[in-house]
A and B are shown apart, each in its own frame.
Chain A
């Protein structure tokens, strides 16, 4: 990276997570993750089912804490044990399922107003006013979906792709330190997925967001971002920087995995999604 350790925007230190501890189902989802993410990094994380990708995002987002001894620091602040809702000031997230990131029974502008106040105290001012509406319109119009003209429409009336695009704008509008994308195009049809992915890249580029994107798809992991991480059984196996990633092919990636894991690469879901 060529940068000092002190200016890491997100620092994960010895993150472990064990589920169902002490039972027959005990599983180590994360097994000592150390990771530094720097300002304006766009990290793609790839790995098979059970690699610990989602668990890692959940810990960064504060859904649950890591095991004792692990630390999550953002912009120099230890946020390991603060409640989930306080993580919102640091992390914005787009979930896999479009219905998770938006509120269906509220209107588009109401959803946007919720997102606008991310991490800020909410008061007794009217949530939506003229100035905010203008702001929502200018944030939504680059999507090219016409949402800016439908501010008072209920989100339930939007398609999955539209909802996911809205969720993306909501996750970024108040500029959290880190954008977390949790397989956010996995449930969309291929054409919509491609559109949402392009919008994602555009927004990240424009807002200069520091981003971590989890994906199942090797091709996407190679095409987007400046860093690539491959996870396997709760560990980071491959951690590539910009230079290495530029000339990387899927074959290289498979080879790198096999070298690191000491076993043959045989995850169907990833191989199948090479396209």
Chain B
């Protein structure tokens, strides 16, 4: 039983790890709290599902899903940079709007993929073995490694550095000649691209795409970021990326164990939300208790 718990957590840690990296890029790197995620996750899933169900190559479908996410991210960031809509609100507007878009893409609320050829079936066919949970994990490890290497390289490039600096000191970045608006658009695009990729992989591994499968994705991503940071205290880009996957794995492990211990699945979201509230709120409460001055709450 322990083995099956760990295996399913590894597989989900890899799948949702892409969401966590996406959330990390917006929240931590860009300081742009982007809530598009709940919508773009499903957009990725539905684009891939529609294409796969229609018989397209699953790898092409997965890439198309990633691109759909990129576009969603570009729109969110543009709402903020070009129309000066508050970052949180931009994400909420996109999340809500994408719900309708996703229904349109799928022509309904749900697409089954049981009889279609997903990337996992494709890999199994290529290796002439049966599709199994181990095969899914190996496939995901390879995919995760590829994106790990790409991101680890990109975030160290001149463009990547400007992107990271934009979330830290925007005034300085403009003062040094880099267009922070462009950087925010790029960062949100990459973030939602990864999230949509995760959505397409989740749909393919579970065998269906559902319009509601993105609910709470942003909170899960935040929880995983917090767990990864709290346990590994990562320094440097490679370690941070690793911590995103590790944090997601641990989050999924806790959840799976809690479910086996009899937790009602419906309570999951509340527990995750509570976890994030505690981690974000406790440091301030502690300061208050120590009698330290705490700045007034920021709202916009």
Contact = CB atoms under 8 A, between A and B. Distances in A.
Interface in B171-199: 171-180
A18 interface: no
B130 interface: no
Interface string B143-170: 0000000000110111111101100110
B169 A102 contact: yes
Contacts of A95: 171
Contacts of B172: 100-103, 114
Contact of B165 (A85, A89, A93, A103): A103
A123 B157 contact: yes
B176 A115 contact: yes
B174 A84 contact: yes
Interface residues of A, number: 34
Interface residues of B, number: 23
Nearest to B158: A122
A170 B169 CA distance: 14
Interface in A102-147: 102-106, 110-111, 113-115, 117-120, 122-128
Interface string A79-106: 0000111101100010100011111111
B233 to A, nearest CB: 13
A61 interface: yes
Contacts of A117: 158, 176-178
A155 to B, nearest CB: 9
Contacts of A93: 175
Given A106-B165, A106-B168, A123 B159 contact: yes
B168 A103 contact: yes
Nearest to A110: B161
Given A100-B171, A103-B165, A127 B176 contact: no
B177 A86 contact: yes
A93 B174 CA distance: 11
Contact of A110 (B153, B165, B175, B178): B165
B184 to A, nearest CB: 13
Nearest to B28: A105
B171 to A, nearest CB: 6
A90 to B, nearest CB: 10
A127 B153 CA distance: 10
Contact of A104 (B154, B159, B169, B173): B169
A125 B158 contact: yes
B6 to A, nearest CB: 34
Contacts of B161: 106, 110, 113-114, 122, 127-128
A125 B158 CA distance: 6
Most buried by A among B156, B172, B173: B172
Given A110-B161, A126-B156, A127-B161, A89 B169 contact: no
Contacts of B154: 124
Interface in A52-96: 61, 83-86, 88-89, 93, 95
A100 B154 CA distance: 26
Nearest to B173: A114
B156 A128 contact: yes
Given A83-B179, A88-B176, A114 B165 contact: yes
Given A100-B169, A104-B169, A61 B175 contact: yes
Given A100-B169, A100-B172, A114-B165, A127 B178 contact: no
B177 A119 contact: yes
A124 B165 contact: no
Given A84-B174, A88-B177, A120-B177, A113 B169 contact: no
A105 B168 contact: yes
B175 A127 contact: no
A132 to B, nearest CB: 10
B165 A122 contact: no
A86 B178 CA distance: 8
Given A103-B168, A114-B165, A85 B158 contact: no
Nearest to B160: A127
B186 to A, nearest CB: 11
B162 A114 contact: yes
B234 to A, nearest CB: 13
Contacts of A84: 174-175
Nearest to A84: B174
Given A103-B169, A106-B164, A110-B161, A118 B156 contact: no
Given A126-B156, A127-B160, 16 more contacts: A84-B174, A85-B177, A85-B178, A88-B175, A100-B172, A102-B172, A103-B173, A106-B161, A114-B161, A114-B173, A117-B177, A122-B158, A122-B159, A122-B178, A125-B158, A126-B157
5 contacts: A84-B175, A110-B164, A122-B158, A122-B159, A126-B156
The 4 closest A-B CB pairs, nearest first, are: A88-B177, A122-B158, A103-B168, A127-B161
Interface of A: 61, 83-86, 88-89, 93, 95, 99-106, 110-111, 113-115, 117-120, 122-128, 170
Interface of B: 153-154, 156-162, 164-165, 168-169, 171-180
